[in-house]
C-alpha cells in the first residue's frame, strides 16, 4: 500500500487508539475532570456533600472573623478620632473659659497686678512692722510700680490694716473718709508717730534697749541707710555699720541662749546622738528648714516656694495638676479650710473622672493661690501656754485650727482640714461635729495628751452624745477615743 500514504496514517491511529484503551480505563476522563485542590496538594478524590458543607462553614467563619477584625479596626479608628475631637473641644473650651475669666477680671479690677506688685504686696503682708515709717517705705515701693493695679481706696485700707494697733485706733475715722488718699494718710500718721512716740520705736534685736554697748547702756536706736545710730543712757551716740560682725555686746547678753544650747547638746549626748558641726548653724536669728523659714516671729513658708505657686500656670494635664496640688498641699497648714478650697481640683484626680477643666476649677485655683500668698505667720507651739481648738464642719468637709495666746491675742499654730469621706460616716450635724472633733484631737494628740485645753464647736456635741439612750458601735468608738483627752467644750454659734 505504498501508493496510499493515508492508509499508513489510519493504521497508525488505530494501533495507538487500541494501545491507549488498554493502558487507561474509561474512567480516566471522569477522574481527570473531577480533580480538586486540597490543603496538602492536588487530590484525585472529589469532596462529598458533608465535606463541602464543612468547608463552607469554615470559609464562613473565616469571613466572619475577617469582618469582625475590620469592624474592630474601624471602631478603634473612630474612637481615636472622637478622643482627638473631644480633646480639641476641651482645649478650646478651656481657652474660652480662661479668656472669659481674664476679661471679667479686667472689667472688675481695671487692670491686673503684675509680678513685681505681687512681690511688694507679699512683703507688706509678711509681717507686722513696729513703725509706720518702715511700713510707708515698703508701700511707697508698691506705689511706684507701673500699673500695680491697686486702687487708692485699697491702698488706704491696706496701709491702715498694717499700722500698729495704737495708731490704728487713733486714725480709724480718717481712714474712712471718702476723700482720704494714701499719700495724705501716710504723711499724717508718720508725723503723729514722730511727735508722740520716742526714738526707741526702732529696734534691732541684738541691740535692744537696756543692753550694753562698749560699757554703756543702750536707750534707743535709729535706722539709717547703711548703719544704726545708738543713743546711750550716759549720753552721746554711736554709729554701728550693718555689716559689722562684732557688735561689742557683753558676754552676759548671750548667756540665756548659750544655756539653752547647752541643754540641747546634753540631751543629744544622753540619747547617744551625734551631730556634724560643719552642717550646723549657730546663733542665727533666722533659719531655713525644709521649705520653712523659722525666726522670732514664728514659722513662714519659703519665699521661693510661694513665688512658684503664685506663678504656676493653669494645669492642662493631670500630671501638672498633681504637681501643683502636691506643692500646695505641703503648705496646707497655713490655709484655713484648705480641703474645701481645692475640692473642685481634687475631683479631677479620681480614677473614674474624665479630665475637664470647668468653671469651678479656675476660681478654686485662684483662691488657693491667694490663700497661700496671703499666708498667716504661724506661732511656734509653746508647751507652757494653754491650747485652744476651734472646729467647723459642713456637709463636704471639716476644718479646725490650733491656737495659743502669747499676750498679743490668739495666734494660729496650725490649720487642719479634711474632706468628709462619705455621708454614711456622719448622717447628722452632731455626728459630723463629733467626727471633726475626733479628727482634730487625733491630729494634734502629740500636743494635747496629758494637758487641759479648750475646744470651741458649733454644737453641744458631747451633751447630745450623753443623751443617747443607745449608741451605735461607731459612736461608742468615737466617744472612747475622745475620752482620752482632758478638755472643756465651749459651744459657739456657727458662722
pLDDT, one tens digit per residue, over 20-78 is 666 555 544 444 444 445 555 555 566 688 888 888 888 888 888 888 888 888 888 88
Candidates 1.20.1250.20, 2.70.210.12, 3.30.420.10, 3.90.1150.10; correct CATH number of 387-491? 3.30.420.10
Distance, C-alpha 361 to centroid of its chain: 13
Residue-wise pLDDT tens digits, 412-423: 999 999 887 765
Strand bridging mode 452-457 / 388-393: parallel
pLDDT of residue 328: 92
Q: What is the largest CA-CA distance in the chain?
A: 171
pLDDT of residue 425: 60
pLDDT of residue 415: 94
| CATH 3.40.190.10 corresponds to the domain 299-372 | no
Please tell me whether residue 216 adopts helix, strand or coil conformation: strand
The helix/strand count (H/E) of the chain reads as: 19, 14
pLDDT of residue 105: 60
pLDDT of residue 400: 92
Domain residue spans in the chain?
60-195, 205-242, 299-372, 387-491
Angle at 319 between CA 86 and CA 364, to 5 degrees: 80
CA nearest neighbour of 458 among 480, 434, 478: 434
Low-confidence ranges of the chain (pLDDT < 70): 1-47, 97, 101-115, 125-130, 148, 165-166, 168-169, 194-209, 213-215, 221-229, 234-237, 239, 241-254, 422-427, 458-462, 466, 493-495
pLDDT of residue 227: 62
pLDDT of residue 488: 86
Amino acid at each position: 500500500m505504498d501508493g496510499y500514504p493515508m492508509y499508513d496514517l489510519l493504521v497508525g491511529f488505530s494501533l495507538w487508539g487500541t494501545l491507549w484503551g488498554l493502558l487507561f480505563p474509561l474512567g480516566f476522563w471522569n477522574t481527570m475532570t473531577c480533580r480538586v485542590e486540597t490543603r496538602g496538594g492536588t487530590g484525585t478524590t472529589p469532596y462529598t456533600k458533608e465535606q463541602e458543607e464543612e468547608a463552607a462553614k469554615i470559609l464562613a467563619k473565616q469571613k466572619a472573623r475577617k469582618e469582625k477584625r475590620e469592624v474592630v479596626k474601624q471602631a478603634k479608628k473612630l474612637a481615636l478620632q472622637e478622643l482627638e475631637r473631644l480633646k480639641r473641644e476641651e482645649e478650646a473650651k478651656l481657652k474660652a473659659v480662661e479668656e472669659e475669666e481674664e476679661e471679667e477680671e479686667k472689667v472688675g479690677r481695671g487692670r491686673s497686678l503684675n509680678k513685681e506688685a505681687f512681690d511688694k504686696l507679699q512683703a507688706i503682708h509678711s509681717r507686722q512692722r513696729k513703725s509706720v515709717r518702715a511700713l510707708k517705705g515698703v508701700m511707697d515701693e508698691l506705689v511706684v510700680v507701673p500699673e500695680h493695679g491697686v486702687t487708692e481706696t485699697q491702698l488706704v485700707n491696706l496701709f491702715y490694716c498694717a499700722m500698729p494697733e495704737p495708731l490704728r485706733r487713733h486714725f480709724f475715722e480718717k481712714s474712712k473718709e471718702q476723700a482720704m488718699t494714701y499719700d495724705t494718710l501716710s504723711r499724717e500718721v508718720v508725723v503723729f508717730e514722730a511727735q508722740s512716740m520716742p526714738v526707741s520705736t526702732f529696734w534691732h534685736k541684738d541691740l535692744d534697749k537696756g543692753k550694753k554697748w562698749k560699757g554703756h547702756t543702750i536707750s534707743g536706736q535709729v535706722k539709717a541707710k547703711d548703719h544704726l545710730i545708738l543713743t546711750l543712757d550716759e549720753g552721746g551716740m554711736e554709729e554701728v555699720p550693718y555689716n559689722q560682725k562684732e557688735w561689742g555686746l557683753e558676754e552676759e547678753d548671750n548667756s540665756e541662749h548659750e544655756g539653752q544650747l547647752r541643754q540641747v547638746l546634753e540631751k543629744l549626748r544622753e540619747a547617744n546622738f551625734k551631730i556634724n558641726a560643719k552642717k550646723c548653724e549657730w546663733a542665727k536669728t533666722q533659719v531655713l528648714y525644709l521649705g520653712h523659714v523659722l525666726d522670732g516671729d514664728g514659722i513662714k513658708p519659703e519665699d521661693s516656694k510661694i513665688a512658684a505657686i503664685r506663678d504656676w500656670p493653669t494645669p492642662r494635664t493631670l500630671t501638672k495638676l498633681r504637681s501643683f496640688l502636691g506643692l500646695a498641699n505641703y503648705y496646707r497648714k497655713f490655709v484655713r479650710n484648705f480641703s474645701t478650697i481645692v475640692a473642685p481640683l481634687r475631683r479631677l484626680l479620681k480614677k473614674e473622672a474624665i479630665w475637664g477643666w470647668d468653671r469651678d476649677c479656675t476660681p478654686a485655683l485662684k483662691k488657693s493661690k491667694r490663700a497661700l500668698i496671703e499666708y498667716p505667720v504661724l506661732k511656734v507651739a509653746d508647751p507652757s501656754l494653754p491650747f485652744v481648738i476651734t472646729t467647723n464642719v459642713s456637709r463636704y468637709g471639716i476644718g479646725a485650727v490650733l491656737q495659743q495666746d502669747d499676750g498679743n491675742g490668739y495666734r494660729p499654730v496650725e490649720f487642719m482640714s479634711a474632706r468628709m469621706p462619705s455621708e454614711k460616716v456622719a448622717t447628722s450635724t452632731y455626728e459630723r461635729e463629733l467626727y471633726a472633733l475626733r479628727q482634730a484631737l487625733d491630729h494634734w494628740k502629740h500636743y494635747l495628751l496629758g494637758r487641759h485645753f479648750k475646744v470651741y464647736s458649733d454644737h453641744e456635741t458631747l451633751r447630745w452624745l450623753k443623751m443617747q439612750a443607745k449608741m451605735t458601735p461607731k459612736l461608742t468608738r468615737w466617744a472612747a477615743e475622745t475620752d482620752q483627752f482632758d478638755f472643756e467644750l465651749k459651744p459657739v454659734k456657727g458662722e
